[in-house]
Structure 1
Amino acid sequence: MALRRKKSKGSPRRQTENPHRINNHIKAPKVRLVGDNVDVDIYDLKTALAKAEELGVDLVEISPKADPPVCKVMDYKKFLYEQKKREKALKQKASKVVVKEIRFGPNTDDHDYEFKKKNAEKFIKDGAKLKAYVFFKGRSIVFKDKGEILLLRLATDLEEIAKVEQMPKLEGKRMIMMLAPSAKKK
């Protein structure tokens, strides 16, 4: 006896359900009707559906937990389109955090320090966060205190335009400090 596989019905794509109940999916017997070209009042469901059909739009349940539920007459597809458009605009306006890195050695000279400090100022004025770190190669790990002094010096030099988010902390062969632009800009 051979086993037969049962064929699945329906499309393989996942069906997404509407976030609102519309037209015949509304279950309440009476609804409060709102919207354009409609008298705001409580109607039985059949009358509300007839009014929506008369206007050529959908009846959408906006507030299902109200007593009676609030339904609005509107073009549902247009409403969803406008909602997606608004969400997309909000995502574009959201700022992305940029993190720039500056690397020092434990024995960085003054000229190199000044050069890197100037770059750090530019990054912070552009609105980026700054990850300053001292990288210890080989046996230079014995100069941990020099690295910490270097990072704290950078923090004090940039205190007018930046605030320290994370104090110098040793992680493996790196001592890391995070700086962010301060709220008060001059």
Structure 2
Amino acid sequence: MKKEHFINAEIRDREVRLIGETGEQLGIVSSKEALKIAEEAGLDLVKISPNANPPVCKVMNYGKYLFEQKKKAKEAKKNQKVVEVKEVGLSMTIDVGDLNIKAKQTQKFLLAGNKVKVSIRLRGRQMAHAELALDVMKRFFELVKDAGVMEKQPLTEGRNIWMMLAPLKA
């Protein structure tokens, strides 16, 4: 595991830009002097920006800092929404009423923030009339276009025709 920050005696730079524990700039000092200031305050000297010239170090309680960082990361992970891909199957000969019901369900999925894969499986002789399936797809999209956008145009893969719908950006 790679160490994130250099602390106290691990800081080998000759000069550092020092920031106090309350965030005030203490200027550019030698790393020995910065370490002395941190020890007098009973805190740690932490290199927070190693790529700066000179490197930026801050006087802080390192244990508390790590705890706060983990807490922030955990909170960010908790607030992350996982986007699911729901699938809605249609048929080439679907009735208008059934198409409307599927469209309402798809709108619910899209409004909940999920992506929707709409697919039609062509059976037997239906392969010869794939353009009719594309018309069904277009009619279906017209019913749900106020809840989502077409992320992928209708695509033919073997006996399946599918398209991907994504929710509108809020």
Normalised TM-score (structure 1)? 0.81
Q: Deviations over 1:111-143 (max 9, x none)?
A: 322221221222222222211110112333223
Larger C-alpha radius of gyration, 1 or 2?
1
State the Cα RMSD in Å: 2.0
Secondary structure of 1:95 counterpart: coil
Q: Please tell me whether residue 164 in structure 1 is matched to residue 163 in structure 2.
A: no
Q: Which residue pairs with 1:130 in the alignment?
A: 116
Identify if the C-alpha distance between structure 1 residues 84 and 167 changes in structure 2 by more than 3 Å, giving closer, same or farther.
same
Once residues 154 and 25 of structure 2 are traced to their aligned partners in structure 1, the CA distance between those partners, rounded to angstroms, is: 66
Once residues 39 and 91 of structure 1 are traced to their aligned partners in structure 2, the CA distance between those partners, rounded to angstroms, is: 33
Instruction: State the aligned residue count.
Output: 169
Once residues 59 and 67 of structure 1 are traced to their aligned partners in structure 2, the CA distance between those partners, rounded to angstroms, is: 17
Matches within 5 A, 1:1-186: 16-36=1-21, 40-183=26-169
Normalised TM-score (structure 2)? 0.88
Query: Contact 1:57–1:73 at 8 Å: present in 2 too?
Result: yes
Once residues 183 and 19 of structure 1 are traced to their aligned partners in structure 2, the CA distance between those partners, rounded to angstroms, is: 36
The percent of aligned pairs where both chains have the same amino acid is 38
Once residues 113 and 25 of structure 2 are traced to their aligned partners in structure 1, the CA distance between those partners, rounded to angstroms, is: 52
Once residues 131 and 27 of structure 1 are traced to their aligned partners in structure 2, the CA distance between those partners, rounded to angstroms, is: 56
| Greater RCO (Cα-Cα under 8 Å, separation 6 or more) | 2
Q: Which amino acid in 1 is paired with 2:113?
A: G
Identify if the C-alpha distance between structure 1 residues 114 and 41 changes in structure 2 by more than 3 Å, giving closer, same or farther.
closer
Q: Which amino acid in 2 is paired with 1:170?
A: T
Q: Which amino acid in 2 is paired with 1:22?
A: I
Q: Return structure 1 stretches of 4+ with deviation > 6 angstroms.
A: none
Identify if the C-alpha distance between structure 1 residues 67 and 109 changes in structure 2 by more than 3 Å, giving closer, same or farther.
closer
Greater CA deviation, 115-124 or 149-158? 115-124
Which structure 1 segments of 5+ residues have no match? Answer: 1-15
Secondary structure of 1:96 counterpart: coil
Once residues 96 and 39 of structure 1 are traced to their aligned partners in structure 2, the CA distance between those partners, rounded to angstroms, is: 41
Q: Which amino acid in 2 is paired with 1:131?
A: K
Greater CA deviation, 63-72 or 141-150? 63-72
Secondary structure of 2:133 counterpart: helix
Secondary structure of 1:148 counterpart: helix
Which structure 2 segments of 5+ residues have no match? Answer: none
